[in-house]
């Protein structure tokens, strides 16, 4: 069983939740996913882009369902595998740390990074599990703590985009 990587450095959110540091890993939540989709024709990245544009977690659910084909085409196998990630996260951060509240953009950042590493073939950790874990936690957060979802909010910056 491949463990969750741990730098030993933590960031703490206002809610009390903690995660491994983000600095030096890139900001995948800032990647322009629509041009990347147009280049790669990757439907999962398109779904995440649709979420970022709308803030509607139904697009994240669609991404997870499409990704389930990576787990012997079984949502059940995928969920059992992701439960291992939940177990390892509980060992690393404490049970249900993620439910204290982490901004959705942090989950999207991490999800996209793990997805790209999975597609690249990195095997230093279970990037498939980590991708799904982040997406499921983002969906939960959108429903239970909508104030932590900054996606789909109209601003002057995206008018006419």
Please give the chain's pLDDT, 161 residues, in tens. Answer: 467 666 667 778 788 787 776 678 899 999 999 999 999 999 999 999 999 999 999 999 999 999 998 888 789 999 999 999 999 999 988 899 999 999 999 999 999 999 999 999 999 999 999 999 999 999 999 999 999 999 987 644 443 43
Residues belonging to the chain: 161
User: Which secondary structure element, helix H or strand E, spans residue 73, and what is its range?
Assistant: none
């Amino acid at each position: 069983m491949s463990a969750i990587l741990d730098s030993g450095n933590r960031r703490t959110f206002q809610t009390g939740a903690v995660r491994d540091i983000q600095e030096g890993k890139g900001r995948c939540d800032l990647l322009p996913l629509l041009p990347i989709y147009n280049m790669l024709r990757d439907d999962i990245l398109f779904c995440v882009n649709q979420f970022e544009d709308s803030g509607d977690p139904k697009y994240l659910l669609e991404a997870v369902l499409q990704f389930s084909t990576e787990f012997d085409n079984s949502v059940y196998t995928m969920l059992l595998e992701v439960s291992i990630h939940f177990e390892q996260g509980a060992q690393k951060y404490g049970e249900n740390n993620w439910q204290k509240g982490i901004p959705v953009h942090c989950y999207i950042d991490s999800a996209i990074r793990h997805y790209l590493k999975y597609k690249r073939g990195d095997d230093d950790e279970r990037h498939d599990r980590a991708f799904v874990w982040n997406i499921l936690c983002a969906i939960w957060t959108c429903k239970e703590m909508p104030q932590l979802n900054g996606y789909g909010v109209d601003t002057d910056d995206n008018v006419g985009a």
